[in-house]
Chains A and B, each alone.
Chain A
């Protein structure tokens, strides 16, 4: 119960459909980075959505910093310090870059702090500063990606959950994206990463969590998962072929 995040026997699903996440338990400590891998449809995205509060859990409990969050609204969970970057690019394409940054800082009550944080983010991603008036959706993929990660530095959450950050990106952008993630992790923010590029994900993470059919298969230090030959064949096989 002393961890930053405790997920206890979580079960979740959509509408009247079957359980997608089943009896799933996981903990995350401060500054820890865990990478969740598993085949398509294993329920990884569903797990993150239920932690973020977008999807209400069917049963089980989630505690953040000792506080029960599994019945809270998504915006409340976010304000407590859990930032979720979903699979679909999490920006507002029809708003300008400046407006997007203001929305990133929306949850910060103190206006001065909000402005200072936006400034910090712009210093980190100077491209955004040059394009403040541009409609975000008209920027290149790489620039939009920077806007996504600017959020992490604007709100400084305690945990950030990132769903398939490299999906559909050009190789050069994948590199850029993982640099952002490493940067976030080294600033002391705990990270839950879901990544289909399992090797790249595990290299970034401290722990590897394997999920299949909605269940936790096992959790091990990322190095062990990467080195274990049989595990490589079982769970990293597809990634290796690439």
Chain B
């Protein structure tokens, strides 16, 4: 029972981190129908920002979240201006984004690998190796903190999207661009800002990832598939879906890893991806493709 609770809590913590990792991906898809395969490498960019801030000036990775977010958002805005804004009106746009973002991921991966080499890195703040006991349940602080911080950011994002005028405009744009334009929404600007927010979320996730996983530039290839399975389960474009998908799969995979075999835990993601695509391609809460 203790072991079950422990695995459950760790699975939920990790689930929130996964949810943060995919929140930007699903937001960007929702608003612009861009399947951003470069999202994981942007997370790694964020991880590098936090890593170097920690190494060079000793800044705690949780505190460097805003900086990592801003740096990656700026990078994202440049990418958006360079390759997406021009193509936004074309008919084959949605399909083309897969190729464009794949190419972008390769380029950033190439640059990072060249500059930093593919050695494993981890940020090691003091709490990274610490843990607390709640009763008999053992909880590593790194997982606990990263889960809590992720959930706070996700709630903040949800509140912004639900209640602010700009947030409602973002949701309106993701439903129907033309209708949004016709009530006076500057859709181009909304797209640019949404892309920036999506990338900022990737950067923020990167800061957390930097101390709970070890990372290296090419690791993003492995994450793409996992992240896709999370958003496909929840439904592309739905934040609620992404969070539920992330937590469910994270818990299931932790359970499988703990009680069956660690070798099978990653399989959970791919198996789920496979099954969902066969049974309900739209996911649990997905938007219809148009």
A contacts, CB < 8 Å to B = 52, 54, 73-75, 78-79, 83-84, 86, 90-95, 99, 102-104, 106-107, 151, 155
Contact = CB atoms under 8 A, between A and B. Distances in A.
A93 B175 contact: yes
Given A95-B171, A102-B165, A106-B165, A151 B178 contact: no
Contact of A86 (B165, B171, B182, B185): B182
Given A92-B175, A92-B176, A74 B183 contact: no
A45 B169 CA distance: 26
B168 A95 contact: yes
A194 B276 CA distance: 45
B83 to A, nearest CB: 21
21 contacts: A52-B182, A73-B186, A74-B178, A74-B181, A75-B184, A75-B187, A78-B183, A79-B184, A86-B182, A91-B179, A92-B179, A93-B175, A95-B172, A99-B171, A103-B172, A106-B165, A106-B168, A106-B184, A106-B185, A107-B183, A107-B184
Contacts of A94: 171, 175
A75 B186 CA distance: 6
A54 B175 contact: no
Q: What does DSSP make chain B's interface, helix, strand, loop or mixed?
A: helix
Contacts of B176: 92
B178 A86 contact: yes
Contacts of B169: 103, 106
Interface string B151-187: 0000000000000010011011001101111111111
B178 A54 contact: yes
Contact of A78 (B165, B171, B172, B184): B184
Nearest to A105: B183
A95 B181 contact: no
A93 B169 CA distance: 14
Contacts of A107: 183-184
Contacts of A90: 179, 182
A99 B183 CA distance: 12
Contacts of B175: 92-95
A54 B187 CA distance: 12
Given A86-B179, A92-B179, A102-B165, 19 more contacts: A54-B178, A54-B182, A73-B186, A74-B181, A75-B186, A78-B182, A79-B184, A83-B182, A90-B179, A91-B179, A92-B176, A94-B171, A95-B171, A95-B172, A102-B168, A103-B168, A104-B183, A106-B183, A106-B184
